[in-house]
A and B are shown apart, each in its own frame.
Chain A
Amino acid sequence: MPGSYKDVNYRIRPAKSVQRKMLCEAFQRLSEFGSLKSYRYVGLPATFFSDFILLHRVLGIHNMVGIEVDPLEKKRFEFNLPFRCIKMRYGHSNAILPQLDWDLRTILWLDYDDPLSTSVLTDVGFFFAEAPAGSVMVVTLDARPDPDQDEADEETDEPRLTRLNKKVGEENVPRDVREQDLADWGTAFTYHRIVTDAIRRTVIERNGSRPLPNQLVYEQLFYFCYADGPKMVTVGGLLYERSQGKPLDRCGFKDLDFIRSGPRNGSKPCFIEVPSLTFREIRHLDSQLPRDKGKRLRAPRVPVTDLKRYERIYRYFPAFAEAEL
C-alpha cells in the first residue's frame, strides 16, 4: 500500500482513470438504496486524492475517510487534502477499518498496490462482516505473476503456486489451480476467484443469525483487468438484503456495459485497454459515436482493434493536457 504515489502521478494512469470514472458512474445508481449524500466513502487516497475528488464532485458524498498507512506522511497528506470534508486516519487498514462506525452505508475502495495476501482478505472479510445492506466494496490488486520481491527475501525462485499458497493461505487457493494457471493474466483470474470466495464465505457466516428475508446477498458488479504498467485486477460488488428485491434490475446496473455480474458474465473480466490516439482522432471518432448498428467507425489508418477499444471506453476516456487545472 505505501509508496507508489511517489513514483507515479496517479492522474495520468489512463486505464486507471477510465476505471475510476466507470466505478463512479456505477456508484451513481446506488441512489435506489438511499440518497448518495447519505453514503460514506472510505478509500486509500495516495497524495493525489483522485477518487475522493471525483466522488465528491460527481456524487456529492461528503462523509469521506482516507486511510494512509504511514503516520510520518501525515503533514504531506494534510497539505494535499482537496476538500475539508475528508478525514484522514493513519495506520494499517487492518487496524483502522474496525475503528470506523459501521452503521453507515459505505462505499469502500481498497485501492492497493499490493498482491493478494491474507491481510487483504482480512480487510475484505471485515467489510462484509460489518457493512450494512446497500454498501459496496471494491478491491484493486497488483496481479503480476511475479510481483516485486521483498528486498530481504532471498528465495526468489520459488514456484508461483508456492508463493501464492504462502501469501493467501493454502486453504484459500482453489483446488484446480496449477502452476501454469498463474501465468500472464492467470494470477488476476485466480485472485478474482479467491476474493469472491472469501466474500461469499463471510456472507454465509453472517447470514447464520438472520431470518431469510433479511439474509444478505453479495452481487458482484465489478471485475476489471487493466495494465497501465503492471497488470492490475479490480473485484467488487454490492451487499444487499433479500427483502430489497433485485437491485441489479432496479438500479439499472445492467445497462452499464462494464458491469460483470451473475455466474457467467461475472467470471469474464472487463479488460480496459486504452488505445493511443491523437486528439484529432478522438474528436473525429466522438463525432461518430454512439454508433448506429451496422455502421462502422472510421479513422484513417487507425487499427480496428484500437477503434473497438476506444468505442468501449469513449465516454470515460481521459483527456490529458499539459496544464494546471
Chain B
Amino acid sequence: MPIPEERRISAEPTKEFFISMLVKDIELPRAIIDLVDNSLDGARRIRPEGDFEGLFIRVEASPKYFKITDNCGGIPVEMARKYAFRFGRPQEMKPTPHSVGQFGVGMKRALFKLGKAFSVESTTRRSRFVVSEDVEVWKNKKEWEYELKELEEGLNVPSDRTGTTIIVKPLHLSIAAEFELESFQTRLANQIAEAHAESMGRGLGITLGKLPLKFRPLDLLQSDRLGPAYQEMSFGTGRSRVEVKIYAGISESKPSEAGWYIFCNGRLVLGADQSLTTGWGEGGEQTIPKYHNQYARFRGYAVFDSDDASKLPWKTTKTGVDADSPSFRAVRLKMITLMRPVIDFLNRLDAEKDREAGDPKPLAAAVNQAKPVVLEDVRSRPTFLAPKPLVVPRGPEMGRIQYSKPLEQIKRVRRQLKAKSYKEIGEKTFEYYLKMECSD
C-alpha cells in the first residue's frame, strides 16, 4: 500500500551524494587499477584456464584524456544491461568464476573520479554496444539509467577483434594535472605491475603509455640447505571453497619490499606489510617481534583463491585485507607459525655478522648459495629449512679498534698502502707496527 503523500518522507539518494561519496573512497591509482581489474575479468571469462598469452590491456593516462583498451573478450550486452553499470552487484548475477571485480562499484567509481564525460565501447563474439554519458547532465536527471547509444546483436566477431575501450574526456582539472607528472606515471606503473604480477606472469601484457610494464615474478631463496615453508589450507565446499597457499622465507635484503604479501584471486591486496595485520609485533612482541631492518630479507606470501570472490578477505577498494573475516583470521595464525622460524634464522644471521673477518659464516654462506625460485617451484615443506648454527671452535680472543683521523691524512695513507677500504688501512698499519716494533 502506497504511503499517503502527507506521510511520505523521501529517502531517495541524490546522485550528487552518491558520486561524491564514492570517489572519496579511493586513491587515484587504485581507481585506475579497478578498471584494469575489469579487463582482467574479461580475460578470465574467455580463458578460464588462466593462460593469458596474447591478451593485452593498454592504459593511457594523458593530461588530455584517459583511455583503457583491451582485447579480453568484451562485456556481453546482457551483462551491461543488467549489471555492469549498476551500483553494487545484484544478488542474482552469475559471477565470473575467480573474478577480481567483486563489488560492482569499481568501473563507475573510476569513471566519476577521472572526468566529466565517458564512453564505454565493448565488442564480444556476438554483440557490440556503446554507452556514453556526460556526467554533469546525468547527475541532474532523476532516472538512474544509462542509454545504450549504439547496439548490435547477433554478430559473429572473430575473437581477436573483441574487447573493451573506455575513454574519459574531458578529465577533471586536478586529475589532468596529476597525469602530467612523470612521478605519477612511475607510481601508477609500479602499482599496476605489483597488483597484477600474477596475471602478467600468465602472459597478460599490460602497457602504460608507450611502455610495457615490467613485472618481477615473486621469488624466494631455495637450496638443499635453505628453503621456504610452504603449506596449503582450504575452507568451505563447492563453489565457495577457498584455497590458500602460504609461503614464508627469505629473499633479497630490501627493507621496502620485506614483509607479507596477500593476494586474492591473483590480485595483490596488501603488499610488503610490516604491521600487526600480518602478525608483526604479535603477542606483545613475544610471539613475533615488530618489523626491524634486520628482517629486510623476510618475504611471506598468502595466496587466496576462490571461484566465489565474495568469500575472499578483501575490502571494496582492494587495498588491505578485511582483518575480521574468519578465513583471514585462520590463515593469519598459520602465517605467524610459519614466519617464526624465519625470524629466528634472520636473528642468527644478523648475529653472525659480528664475527671477525675470516671466521666461518655458515649462515651467510648458505644464503649466498641459495637461488631465487618462483613460487610455483617452491617445494612443499611444513617449516622453514635453515642450516643449524655451527658450533665453531673459538679462535684467539679478539678486540676491535676504532678511531677517526682527518680525511686528508687517511687519503694519503690509503694511497701509499694501496688499500681498498678504511678497514684495510687500519689492519695494514696495525700489522706494519706489529711487525716492525713488536717482534719478540
Contacts and interface: CB of A to CB of B under 8 A. Distances in A.
A52 B421 CA distance: 41
A151 B421 contact: no
A208 B210 CA distance: 30
A151 B186 contact: no
Given A151-B407, A204-B174, A171 B182 contact: no
B177 A204 contact: yes
B190 A171 contact: yes
A91 interface: no
Contacts of A152: 422
B189 interface: yes
Interface in A198-241: 198, 200-201, 204, 208
Interface string B367-403: 0000000000000000000000000000000000000
Nearest to B210: A176
Nearest to A212: B173
Interface string A32-73: 000000000000000000000000000000000000000000
Contact of B211 (A151, A170, A175, A204): A175
B421 A174 contact: no
Contacts of B181: 197, 200-201, 204
Interface string A248-262: 000000000000000
Interface string B407-431: 1001100000000111000000000
Interface string B148-182: 00000000000000000000000000100110111
B177 A154 contact: no
Given A152-B422, A154-B421, A200-B180, A174 B185 contact: yes
Nearest to A172: B183
Interface string A146-174: 00000110100000000000000011111
Contacts, number: 44
Contacts of B422: 152
B256 to A, nearest CB: 9
B209 to A, nearest CB: 8
A193 interface: yes
Interface string B188-204: 01100000000000000
Nearest to B190: A171
B180 A175 contact: no
A174 B186 contact: yes
A193 B178 contact: no
Given A151-B407, A154-B421, A176-B211, A193 B182 contact: yes
B177 to A, nearest CB: 5
Contacts of B210: 176
B348 interface: no
B186 to A, nearest CB: 5
Contacts of B177: 200, 204
B187 interface: yes
B186 A171 contact: yes
Contacts of A171: 183, 186-187, 190
B235 to A, nearest CB: 38
A217 to B, nearest CB: 11
Among B178, B181, B209, B210, which residue has the most Cβ atoms of chain A within 10 A?
A: B181
A154 B174 CA distance: 45
A152 B410 CA distance: 11
A204 B178 CA distance: 8
A197 B182 contact: yes
A197 B211 CA distance: 19
Given A154-B421, A175-B189, A197 B183 contact: yes
A174 B182 contact: yes
A151 B419 CA distance: 12
Nearest to B420: A154
A3 to B, nearest CB: 11
A1 to B, nearest CB: 16
Contacts of B187: 171
Contacts of B421: 154
B436 to A, nearest CB: 27
Contacts of B211: 175-176
Given A152-B422, A154-B421, A204-B174, A175 B182 contact: yes
Given A154-B420, A154-B421, A171-B190, A201 B174 contact: no
Contact of B183 (A176, A198, A208): A198
A151 B208 CA distance: 40
Contacts of A198: 183
A150 B224 CA distance: 39
B189 to A, nearest CB: 5
A201 B185 CA distance: 12
A194 to B, nearest CB: 8
A6 to B, nearest CB: 12
B411 A173 contact: no
A195 to B, nearest CB: 11
A239 B407 CA distance: 42
Interface in A282-304: none
A176 B210 CA distance: 9
A175 B421 CA distance: 35
B174 A151 contact: no
Nearest to B208: A175
A175 B420 contact: no
A173 B186 contact: yes
Q: Which 6 A-B pairs have the closest CB atoms?
A: A174-B182, A197-B182, A204-B177, A197-B183, A175-B186, A154-B421
20 contacts: A151-B410, A151-B411, A152-B422, A171-B187, A173-B186, A175-B182, A175-B185, A175-B189, A175-B208, A175-B209, A175-B211, A193-B182, A194-B182, A197-B182, A197-B183, A200-B180, A200-B181, A201-B181, A201-B184, A208-B174
Given A173-B186, A175-B209, 4 more contacts: A154-B421, A174-B182, A175-B186, A194-B182
Interface of B: 174, 177-178, 180-187, 189-190, 208-211, 407, 410-411, 420-422
